[in-house]
Amino acid sequence: MKKIPNTLFVLLFTLLSCQVNDKNNIIPPLKKEIQINKTEDKIKTINNLLVNLKTYSTFEKNGKIGLLDQDNKEIIPPIYQEIQSIQNKFIKVKIDDKWMLFESSGKKLSEEKFDDIYLKKNNIKNIFMLKNNSKYAIFDEKIKKLTDYIYQEINYSNINSLILKTNDKWGAYDFDGKQIIYPKYDILQEVKNNIFIATLDNKSFLLEANSEKIISNKYKYIYVNTNIFNFILVRNEKDNTFLDGLIDVNGKEILEPKYNSISMLNDNYLILELNNKKSLVDKNLNDVLENKYNNISLFNNEYIIGELDGKETIFDKSLKVVESITYPYPDKEGYFLIKKDGKTGLIHKSGTKVAEPKYDHFSFLTDNFISVNIGGKIEIIGAADFGLKPRSYLNGGLYGVIDTSGKVLIKPIYESLYYSNNYFYANSSNTPIRKNRNILFDKYGKKIMESDFNLSEIYKENYIITEDYHIYGLADLNGNNIITRKYQNI
pLDDT at 23: 34
pLDDT at 18: 40
Distance CA 477, CA 464 (A): 7
Is 316 strand, coil or helix?
Answer: coil
Distance CA 195, CA 250 (A): 8
pLDDT at 249: 85
Distance CA 249, CA 245 (A): 13
pLDDT tens track for 38-47: 344 456 677 8
How confident is the model over 111-128, as a mean pLDDT?
90
Distance CA 404, CA 353 (A): 9
Predicted confidence (pLDDT) at residue 34 exceeds the cutoff of 80: no
- Percent share of the chain, pLDDT over 70: 86
Asked which of 29-38, 107-116, 229-238, 356-365 is least confident by mean pLDDT, the reply is 29-38
Neighbours of 280 (CB within 10 A): 22
Is 35 strand, coil or helix?
Answer: helix
82 or 382, higher pLDDT? 82
pLDDT at 383: 52
pLDDT at 9: 41
pLDDT at 389: 64
pLDDT at 20: 38
pLDDT at 345: 96
43 or 125, higher pLDDT? 125
pLDDT at 409: 96
pLDDT tens track for 141-172: 899 999 999 999 999 877 788 999 999 999 99
28 or 458, higher pLDDT? 458
- Percent share of the chain, pLDDT over 90: 54
Predicted confidence (pLDDT) at residue 13 exceeds the cutoff of 70: no
**What are the C-alpha distances in Å from 182 to residues 130, 160, 166, 249?**
21, 17, 10, 21
pLDDT tens track for 204-222: 999 999 999 998 888 989 9
100 or 70, higher pLDDT? 100
Please report, in angstroms and rounded to a whole number, the separation of the first and last CA atoms in the chain.
108
pLDDT tens track for 230-267: 899 999 998 889 999 999 988 899 999 999 999 999 99
32 or 246, higher pLDDT? 246
pLDDT tens track for 323-339: 999 999 988 999 999 99
Is 90 strand, coil or helix?
Answer: strand
Distance CA 218, CA 211 (A): 19
Q: Are 294 and 277 in contact (CB under 8 A)?
A: yes
pLDDT at 300: 84
Taking Cα atoms as reference points, which of 250, 170, 166 lies closest to residue 208?
250
Predicted confidence (pLDDT) at residue 347 exceeds the cutoff of 80: yes
Predicted confidence (pLDDT) at residue 483 exceeds the cutoff of 70: yes
DSSP string across 174-199: -TTS-EEEEEEESEEEEEETTEEEEE
21 or 73, higher pLDDT? 73
pLDDT at 340: 92
For the chain, what is the mean pLDDT? 84
For β-strands 423-428 and 416-420, DSSP reports them as: antiparallel
Predicted confidence (pLDDT) at residue 432 exceeds the cutoff of 50: no
